[in-house]
Amino acid sequence: MKSKQFSKKTPKNTSSNNKTHKIKKVGILTSGGDCSGLNATLRACVKTLIHDYGVKVIGYRDGFRGMIENDYQELTFKDVSGILSIGGTILGTSNKANPFRQFQPKTGEFKDVSKKVVADAKKLGIDALIAIGGDGTMSMAARFTEMGLPTVGIPKTIDNDLMATDLTFGFYTAVEIVKESIDRINTTAMSHHRVMVIEVMGRYAGWIALYGGVSGGADVILIPEIPYDIDAVAEVCSSRNKQGKGFTIIVIAEGAKPIGGDLTVQKIVKESFDTLRLGGVGHVLAHQLEEKLPRLEIRVTILGHLQRGGSPTAFDRILSTRFGHYAANMVMRGEFAQMAALRGSQIVSVPISEVAGKNKFVPPDHDLILAAKSLGTSFGEKQ
């Protein structure tokens, strides 16, 4: 007996949710600081929406600036082809544009232009918005949904400090850059018998410093979550020198601070999401160590925006693709005011309210910290 054959295929745009047929045009933007994986995410979103659902996609230029100024372009298969391996974002981005608090250069004041932004989006026929960004972007995404512009979020930041998701894309590419930099600086440190201080990004969280420092074999890792004791750090350098090792590698997060001390602020940008620009803590640490260790030579390297650029790693390309594809399907299922998130090995949908305006910090008892301590790594704590 022959097995039963089915000749009819299920249409690609079929969904159990009756909201699917209402979505015909989707807006998308990349907001906040750039990072590797943004283009891979755009590619996955756009191709899924066009290929599986026949939906038209509108890309806003430079994040929320594009929505505020009604500056956009239609994104086609051709526009997102060949961008998987390219860093940055073809749409551009901004960490200053904020429809709910937009800086007015002429008056020096802030103005809420969100109602106009929503009205313009509706005039354009936008049925839903996909916002790719960090905690500030997620806050705005939640508010837009309340105002009648259904929005889905995708978590993006090299800092890995977003709540409700195990990882954000861009993080592991930044860690890879930190690791490679430590490898290169390590040979110079050994040759010249120096203390090398490497300052990395991360804002108020120490994820990049922790993962980058451990993967690069740093001797000291200083993170915001564990205020450091300068005497403890100096003792590590002195002890290694006495043991004949002759060099020390210190990785310090830009948000690290000494016990009882403050953050090192480079400047204040009042029109930005986050007004504080951190930076320079590596030089502060070096100056403190020079007073404690006058015989040792200390040098500082600030990696800065090197951590944001370049081609994404294989891991981030895959995570970005999974996030983009899942978010596109979230839109078509009507899962708004939600964000795509990685939980374990699965991509899931979580309420944006769990993410908006919040930060995920490194627990002092994190298993990687415990492992590093067992290997002799110091976190600048008093002995």
Within 8 A by CB and 6+ apart from 12, the residues are 51, 52, 53
The whole-angstrom separation of Cα 214 and Cα 216 is 5
The whole-angstrom separation of Cα 356 and Cα 20 is 26
The whole-angstrom separation of Cα 150 and Cα 207 is 32
Per-residue DSSP letters for 243-289?
TT---EEEEEETT--BTT----EEEE-TTSSS-EEE--HHHHHHHHH
- Count the residues in the chain: 383
Three-state DSSP class for residue 185: helix
Tokens for 178, please give them: 């930190």
Count the neighbouring beta carbons within 10 Å of the beta carbon of residue 365.
7
CA angle 335, 337, 342 (to 5 degrees): 75
The whole-angstrom separation of Cα 67 and Cα 143 is 15
**What residues are paired with 109 via a beta bridge?**
104
Q: Is 231 a catalytic residue?
A: no
Sign of the dihedral through C-alpha 71, 75, 78, 79: positive
Tokens for 362, please give them: 């490194």
Catalytic pick among 62, 159, 161, 229: 159
**What residues are paired with 30 via a beta bridge?**
132
Among all residues, which ones are annotated catalytic?
159
